[in-house]
Amino acid sequence: MIMIELIHEEPATRDFEQIVGWLNDTVLMRYSEQRHKKHTIETQKQYYRTMINDENSYCIVRDGTALIGTVSAVIDDYNLVADVGILVSPWHIGKGYGYIIWRAYCSQLAEDGIRKIEGGCMAQNKAMIRIFEKNNMRLEGTRKYHFQTGKDQYDDMVLYGMLT
């Protein structure tokens, strides 16, 4: 049975080191806009501070002592909407962690008063789409040819949402 813990505190240096490794992994990031950036511990610390200072939400996720990912949300306080993003370690992909992390985090956001959860990804990111759909999110729209994936190659952005 998968047991996770969402931790709302600044990651330790060793956690940042792992996260940076994942973000710089070209295979893991092939569907992410993070693939365009070179990540460092300092850029991740800055991202964390920005998320917290802007009153958004950021968690590291553990299964026991193992760091298994991160989950965050940009929160629109006026409309009570959260745009959620997730990062799962390469060792935990395909084992149900993404679904469980997403469900737990979105439940927490709902308890905090968020009325709508949103998320988007490349149309070819079937794993993320499965996470959305297993969590009862619905396709709300498609941005055609939104992502440039190669020279003269594009993919759509699919946008999912759900009311809490």
DSSP 117-162: EEEEEETT-HHHHHHHHHTT-EEEEEEEEEEEEETTEEEEEEEEEE
Instruction: Name the residue ranges covered by the structural domains of the chain.
Output: 5-115
Q: What is the pLDDT of residues 74-111, one digit of tens each?
A: 999 999 999 999 999 999 999 999 999 999 999 999 99
Q: What is the pLDDT of residues 21-43, one digit of tens each?
A: 999 999 999 999 999 999 999 99
The pLDDT confidence band at residue 2, using thresholds 50, 70 and 90, is confident
> Which CATH superfamily groups domain 5-115?
Gcn5-related N-acetyltransferase (GNAT) (3.40.630.30)
Residue among 56, 59, 46, 47 at smallest CA distance from 11: 59
| Matching residue, tokens 């008063």 | 113
| 61 DSSP β-pair partners | 6, 69
pTM: 0.93
